[in-house]
Amino acid sequence: MYELNRKLRKIEGYDPAAGTSKIVLDANESPFNINDTFREEIAEGVGKLALNRYPDPYATEAVKAFAKFYNVPESFVTAGNGSDELISIITSCFLEKGDKILTLSPDFSMYAFYGKLYETNVTVMQKDDIYNTFSVGKVIEHCNNNDIKAVIFSNPCNPTSLGIKREEIIRLIKNVFCLVIIDEAYMDFWTESILPDIAQFDNVIVLKTLSKALGAAGIRLGFAVAGETITGALRAAKSPYNTDLLSQEIGRIVLSHPETAKENINYIVTAREKLQEELVKLSDRYPCLDKVYDSVTNFVFIKTSKGLEIYEKLLTRGISIRYMGIYIRITSGTEEENAEFIDALKDILAQICEAE
Ligand SMILES: *Cc1c(COP(=O)(O)O)cnc(C)c1O
């Protein structure tokens, strides 16, 4: 009888958000569908594609549009099937079996997942529980004292919604010998990207995605930005046709409209600020919402002992948020969706929590 090997016997796949709710605030997506904004341009662009042919292995047109959008050299950019695929390629290729990789917690779970899958030696450093962020000094010390080959984290962080400033990130990069992978999936909502400095460093990979601020999670397009040596290796190591013709074309269109992206981002940030204010007010009234963290992203992160009850009761009202043990995470939707969520939450808190 065929038996799975040890690492596959205990593997747990990613548990995706269900997505059948009326109001979906659980996956940090954009509330704006690019098909509403660019329907004609997409129909025309996609209509012309030679779908009998293999796609461009380097997604040249999408990469060009990305490079222009973020003002980085094209020669620094690799396209991937979502940044998720790029995380997989980086952990499998830039680390050898048994190499030590440092991740943090709470942070995006896929880093440790791929690290383990590729048989690297994963260390998870716990973040300070009160501030839920990490000390750059501690990470530098840990990397240098423990022969860490790569450190990977998101900035701003999913799920904590907090960010670390550019100078601190640069201090980290300059003081370690290992590869530093910075996942800037949410940096479009903040201002502390290190992309403007990327050419100075030969040990950095910045990951970007079209899935969050740019509203294109459905097309699976992510990008890695790094110096030419790393980029050359990434392009060589990835599977040849990792991004398809449709994604490349739709990605190119989305990235060619920075003004639309900016408008949407401004809307989302304003909506998230309001959402957060409402949540802070509720946490003042209901101590069972222990802490509403600051946010520099499109979502709000809350520490609460009632997470499961809140999550389940919201679901029965057609609203999905993310439940994560002692935390819940709520993506900002449209202003109307957020208002509906707040109304539902007020009802639920009145039922299940003592007011102050
Ligand atoms: C959503 C998310 C991703 C995944 O991006 P894809 O490009 O859709 O694979 C990567 N990193 C973080 C931190 C995320 O939250």
* Residue 2 pLDDT > 90: yes
The pLDDT of residue 20: 82
**Ligand 1 lined by 72 (C-beta under 6 Å):** no
Q: Is residue 37 part of a domain?
A: no
| Whether the Cβ atoms of residue 277 and residue 289 lie closer than 8 Å to each other | no
The pLDDT of 112-130, averaged and rounded, is: 92
The pLDDT of residue 19: 62
| Residue 56 and residue 16 share a domain | no
Within the chain, strands assigned E span: 23-24, 77-80, 100-105, 121-126, 148-154, 179-183, 204-209, 222-226, 289-292, 299-304, 319-320, 322-324, 327-331
The pLDDT of residue 173: 98
The pLDDT of 123-133, averaged and rounded, is: 83
**Ligand 1 lined by 29 (C-beta under 6 Å):** no
| Residue 211 and residue 111 share a domain | yes
Q: Is residue 132 part of a domain?
A: yes
Annotate 19-51 with b (16+ C-beta within 10 A) or e (fewer). eebebbbbbbbbbbebeebbeebbeebeeeeee
* Residue 17 pLDDT > 80: no
Confidence at 118, pLDDT banded by 50, 70, 90: very high
| Residue 234 and residue 289 share a domain | no
* Residue 129 pLDDT > 80: no
* Residue 334 pLDDT > 80: yes
What digits encode the pLDDT tens for the residues 147-178?
A: 999 999 999 999 999 999 999 999 999 999 99
- Looking at the DSSP bridge assignments, the partners of residue 122 are 101
Query: Does pTM surpass 0.95?
Result: yes
The pLDDT of residue 128: 81
Confidence at 18, pLDDT banded by 50, 70, 90: low
**Ligand 1 lined by 83 (C-beta under 6 Å):** yes
| Whether the Cβ atoms of residue 54 and residue 243 lie closer than 8 Å to each other | no
| Helix ranges restricted to H, 48-157 | 60-70, 82-93, 110-117, 136-145
The closest alpha carbon to 101, from 84, 86, 121, 119, belongs to 121
Q: Is residue 35 part of a domain?
A: no
Ligand 1 pocket test target in 208, 209, 331 with most atoms within 8 Å of CB: 209
* Residue 130 pLDDT > 90: no
Cα of 287 vs centre of ligand 1, distance in Å, is 32
The pLDDT of residue 143: 97
* Whole-angstrom distance, CA of residue 229 vs CA of residue 208: 19
Q: Is residue 224 part of a domain?
A: yes
Domain encompassing residue 201: 51-256
The pLDDT of residue 346: 97
* Residue 138 pLDDT > 80: yes
* Whole-angstrom distance, CA of residue 281 vs CA of residue 265: 24
The pLDDT of residue 134: 84
**Ligand 1 lined by 133 (C-beta under 6 Å):** no
* Residue 26 pLDDT > 80: yes
Among 239, 256, 273, the domain boundary falls at: 256
The pLDDT of 3-8, averaged and rounded, is: 92
The pLDDT of 35-60, averaged and rounded, is: 97
Cα of 84 vs centre of ligand 1, distance in Å, is 6
**Ligand 1 lined by 298 (C-beta under 6 Å):** no
* Whole-angstrom distance, CA of residue 226 vs CA of residue 201: 8
Which tokens in the block code for residue 212? 């969050």
The pLDDT of 236-243, averaged and rounded, is: 97
**Ligand 1 lined by 163 (C-beta under 6 Å):** no
CA–CA distances in Å: residue 108 to residues 113, 165, 207, 289, 290? 10, 19, 13, 23, 22
What digits encode the pLDDT tens for the residues 190-218?
A: 999 999 999 999 999 999 999 999 999 99
| Residue 237 and residue 284 share a domain | no
| Residue 129 and residue 188 share a domain | yes
Among 256, 279, 309, the domain boundary falls at: 256
In this structure, the chain runs to a length of 356
Interaxial angle between packed helices 166-175 and 136-145, expressed in degrees from 0 to 180 and rounded to the nearest 10: 10
| Residue 184 and residue 126 share a domain | yes
For the chain, state the CA radius of gyration: 21
DSSP state of 22: S
- CA torsion 343→345→346→348, rounded to 10°? 130
Cα of 354 vs centre of ligand 1, distance in Å, is 37
The pLDDT of residue 64: 98
* Residue 131 pLDDT > 80: no
| Residue 306 and residue 234 share a domain | no
Ligand 1 pocket test target in 15, 66, 83, 188 with most atoms within 8 Å of CB: 83
Among 256, 288, 313, the domain boundary falls at: 256
**Which atom of ligand 1 is least distant from the CA of 107?**
13
Instruction: Name the percent of the chain lying above pLDDT 90.
Output: 93
Cα of 107 vs centre of ligand 1, distance in Å, is 11
CA–CA distances in Å: residue 353 to residues 218, 288, 305, 345? 38, 6, 10, 11
* Whole-angstrom distance, CA of residue 216 vs CA of residue 253: 11
| Residue 248 and residue 269 share a domain | no
Which tokens in the block code for residue 318? 């057609």
| Residue 72 and residue 215 share a domain | yes
Q: Is residue 1 part of a domain?
A: no
Q: What's the chain's average pLDDT? A: 96
Number of domain units in the chain = 2
The pLDDT of 267-293, averaged and rounded, is: 97
**Ligand 1 lined by 185 (C-beta under 6 Å):** yes
Residues 6 or more apart whose Cβ sits within 8 Å of residue 323: 307, 308, 310, 311
- Region at 82 (left for phi over 0; alpha for psi -120 to 50; beta for the rest): left
